[in-house]
Amino acid sequence: MAIRYGVILVLASLMMAPVFAEEARRYPPLPQTILTPDQVPSRIGELRFDDGRPDAATVATLYDHLDFLRGVEVFLNFIPAASLEALRVGMAELGATQSSDVVIFEQLMDARPLFLTGNTDTVYASAMLDLQRDGPTVVEVPPGAGPGTVNDAFFRFIIDMGAPGPDRGKGGHYLILPPDYQGPITPSVQGKPQRVDGRDYYVARSASYINWLILRGLLVEGKAEPAVTMWREGLKVYPLSQVAEPPTMRFINGSDRSVNTIHANDFHFYLELDQVIQREPVGLLEPELRGLAAAIGIRKGQPFAPDKRMKTLLSEAVAVGNATARAIWLKPRDANARLYPDSGWYTPFVGGDYRWLIDEGEGGRNLDARTLFFYSATVNTPAMALRIPGVGSQYAFNATDAEGRYLDGGETYRLRLPAPVPAKNFWSVVVYDPQTRSELQTQQRYPSKNNVRDTLRYNDDGSVDLFFGPKAPKGWESNWTETLPGKGWFTVLRLYGPLEPWFDKQWQPGELEPYKE
pLDDT tens digits, 63-111:
999 999 999 999 999 999 999 999 999 999 999 999 999 999 999 999 9
* pLDDT of 19 higher than 50: no
Quick one: average pLDDT of 23-49? Answer: 97
Q: Is residue 291 part of a domain?
A: no
- Find residue 203's DSSP bridge partners: 175
> What is the rounded distance in angstroms from the CA atom of residue 358 to the CA atom of residue 351?
7
Domain boundary among 208, 226, 260: 260
Tell whether 409 and 492 lie within a shared domain: yes
Residue 240 and residue 342 share a domain: no
Q: Are residue 354 and residue 496 in the same domain, yes or no? A: yes
Sequence-separated (6 or more) residues with CB below 8 Å from residue 102: 96, 125, 126, 127, 231, 235, 237, 249, 250, 251, 252
Do 457 and 356 share a domain, yes or no? yes
Cβ count near 504 (within 10 Å): 11
**What number is the average pLDDT over the span 176-200?**
96
What are 221-259's pLDDT values in tens digits? Answer: 999 999 999 999 999 999 999 999 999 999 999 999 999
Tens of pLDDT, residues 275-318: 999 999 999 999 999 999 999 999 999 999 999 999 999 999 99
Does any domain span residue 132?
yes
pLDDT, position 12: 44
- Residue 385 is part of which domain span? 331-514
C-alpha–C-alpha distance, residues 329 and 336, integer Å = 13
pLDDT of residue 125: 98
* Shared domain check, 510 and 380: yes
Burial class (CB in 10 A: 0-12, 13-18, 19+), 463: middle
**Residue 383 maps to a domain:** yes
Helix (H) or strand (E) holding 84: helix 56-93
363 with 509, same domain: the answer is yes
Q: Are residues 341 and 251 in the same domain?
A: no
Question: What pLDDT, on a 0 to 100 scale, did the predictor assign at position 5?
Answer: 47
Q: Which residues, 6 or more positions from 468, have their beta carbon under 8 angstroms from its beta carbon?
A: 407, 412, 413, 414, 415, 431, 480, 481, 482, 483, 489, 491, 512
pLDDT at residue 392, rounded to an integer:
82
Rounded distance between C-alpha atoms, residue 408 and residue 313, angstroms: 34
Q: Is residue 88 part of a domain?
A: no
Would you say residue 400 lies in a domain? yes
Is residue 127 within 8 A of residue 99, CB to CB? The reply is: yes
250 and 376 both lie in a single domain: no
Q: Are 486 and 388 within one domain?
A: yes
Same domain, 359 and 456: yes
pLDDT above 60: residue 212: yes
Residue 11 has pLDDT above 90, yes or no: no
Q: How confident is the model at residue 6 (pLDDT cuts 50, 70, 90)?
A: very low
Query: What is the DSSP annotation of 430-484?
Result: EEE-TTTSSB--SSSSS-EEETTTS---B-TTS-EEEEEESSPPTT-GGGEEE--
Helix (H) or strand (E) holding 418: none
Rounded Cα distance, 63 and 43, in Å = 15
- Helix and strand tally (H, E) in the chain? 9, 22
Question: Dihedrals φ, ψ of 405, to 5°?
Answer: -90, 145
- Strand pairing class (464-469; 480-482): parallel
Mean pLDDT across the chain = 95
- Decide: 134 and 206 in contact? Cβ < 8 Å: no
Q: What SS3 string covers 235-297?
A: CEEEEHHHCCCCCCCEEEECCCCCCECCCCCCCHHHHHHHHHHHHCCHHHCCHHHHHHHHHCC
Residues 337, 477: one domain?
yes
Check: CB of residue 154 under 8 Å from CB of residue 355.
no
Burial of 19 per CB tally in 10 Å (0-12, 13-18, 19+):
exposed
Query: What residues does 195 pair with on adjacent strands?
Result: 200
Residue 462 sits in a domain whose CATH number is: 2.60.120.600
Backbone angles phi, psi at 48, to 5 degrees: -115, 140
Does 77 map to a domain? Answer: no
> Residue 317's pLDDT is what?
98
Rounded Cα gap, residues 283 and 281, in angstroms = 5
Residues 435-458 have a mean pLDDT of 97
Whether the pLDDT of residue 121 is over 70: the answer is: yes
Sequence-distant (6+) residues with CB within 8 A of 276 are 81, 82, 84, 85, 153, 284
Instruction: Give the mean model confidence (pLDDT) for residues 368-373.
Output: 98
User: Quick one: which of 436, 326, 374 has its CA closest to 84?
Assistant: 374
- Rounded distance, CA 27 to CA 239, Å? 74
Specify whether the CB–CB gap between 111 and 441 falls below 8 A.
yes
Please indicate, yes or no, if residue 227 is contained in any of the structural domains.
yes
pLDDT over 50 at 14, yes or no: no
**Domain end: 260, 294, 312, which one?**
260
Q: CA-to-CA distance for 166 and 28, rounded, in angstroms?
A: 68
In terms of domains, do 242 and 348 share one?
no
Residue 12's SS3 state is helix
Q: Say how many CA atoms lie within 13 Å of 176 toward its Cβ.
A: 31
The single-letter code of the amino acid at 5 is Y
pLDDT of residue 21: 57
CATH for 130: 2.60.40.1610
Domain C-terminal end among 239, 260, 281: 260
So what's the pLDDT on residue 8? 43
Contacts of 391 (CB under 8 A, 6+ apart): 163, 164, 383, 497
First vs last C-alpha separation in the chain: 126
Is 277 inside a domain boundary? no
Sheet bearing 137-141, strands edge to edge: 194-196, 199-205, 172-177, 137-141, 236-239
Structural domains counted in the chain: 2
